Amino acid sequence: MTLTFMVEIVAQAFAGDDAERKALLVDMFNQEGAALVRLARIFTDDRNAAEDLVQEAFIRLHRSAHRIHDQQKLPAYLRSIVLNLARDHNRRGLLSLRHQQTSYPIVNEGPEEQIFRNESQARVIESLGELSPRQRDCLVLRFFMELSEREIAETLGISPNSVKTHTRRGMATLETLLEDVR
């Protein structure tokens, strides 16, 4: 499913809403949709499931948007919903981080480089699965989504100091896990 098609689905889903609210949600989808799909894909490694999770996140945002008075917090709220949906998805046994094989093709690399990169990525993602959920969330949001500590804190509903602590501990554990693999 393409992002354009997903935008059309979101627009249709909110067709009965007032124009301002619909425009806000569609703009939010245009701004955050692709990044949220990438985020969900890290946890599910299935593009279709990731897209479904993001669509569900927007539906849930729509249901509770009336409770959010600060529109600046909408991206953090959406990321939080996606993380929770991804956790639920994995918890139900639909797909687990620990049993994934990732394959992100890299253009302009030879077969040896692609094999090494795929194996390295698989090891990192498998090792992420060994971390506590909070540490994994902090690392993914920090290094994959490139969010600031403040944005991560808003997304996860924790303090920036907790984000620093979880990130530091997660990195230390990840380093140990990846050293054991070598």
Round the CA-based radius of gyration of the chain to a whole number and report it.
17
Looking at the structure, do residues 88 and 12 belong to the same domain, yes or no? yes
Looking at the structure, do residues 128 and 178 belong to the same domain, yes or no? yes
Looking at the structure, do residues 127 and 162 belong to the same domain, yes or no? yes
Looking at the structure, do residues 88 and 4 belong to the same domain, yes or no? yes
Looking at the structure, do residues 46 and 117 belong to the same domain, yes or no? no
Looking at the structure, do residues 88 and 130 belong to the same domain, yes or no? no
Q: Could you say which of 95, 130, 164 is where a domain stops?
A: 95
Looking at the structure, do residues 88 and 105 belong to the same domain, yes or no? no
pLDDT for residue 115: 61
Is 105 in contact with 85 (CB distance < 8 Å)? no
For the record, the structure tokens of 88 come out as 């639920």
Q: Place 144 in a pLDDT band, splitting at 50, 70 and 90.
A: confident
Return the CATH number at 3: 1.10.1740
Looking at the structure, do residues 117 and 79 belong to the same domain, yes or no? no
Stretch 26-40: mean pLDDT: 88
Q: Could you say which of 74, 95, 116 is where a domain stops?
A: 95
pLDDT for residue 95: 44
Percent of the residues in the chain that have a pLDDT greater than 70, as a whole number:
73
pLDDT for residue 110: 58
Stretch 52-80: mean pLDDT: 84
Looking at the structure, do residues 76 and 128 belong to the same domain, yes or no? no
Looking at the structure, do residues 30 and 110 belong to the same domain, yes or no? no
CB-based contacts of 164, cutoff 8 Å, min separation 6: 149
Distance between alpha carbon 156 and the CA centroid of its chain, in Å?
12
pLDDT for residue 153: 94
Percent of the residues in the chain that have a pLDDT greater than 90, as a whole number:
28
Q: Could you say which of 95, 117, 147 is where a domain stops?
A: 95
Looking at the structure, do residues 138 and 160 belong to the same domain, yes or no? yes
Total structural domains within the chain: 2
- Residue 135 to residue 63: CA distance in whole angstroms: 29
47 vs 155, residue with greater confidence: 155
Looking at the structure, do residues 104 and 162 belong to the same domain, yes or no? yes
pTM of the model: 0.64
Q: Which domain holds residue 69?
A: 1-95
Return the CATH number at 163: 1.10.10.10
113 pLDDT exceeds 50? yes
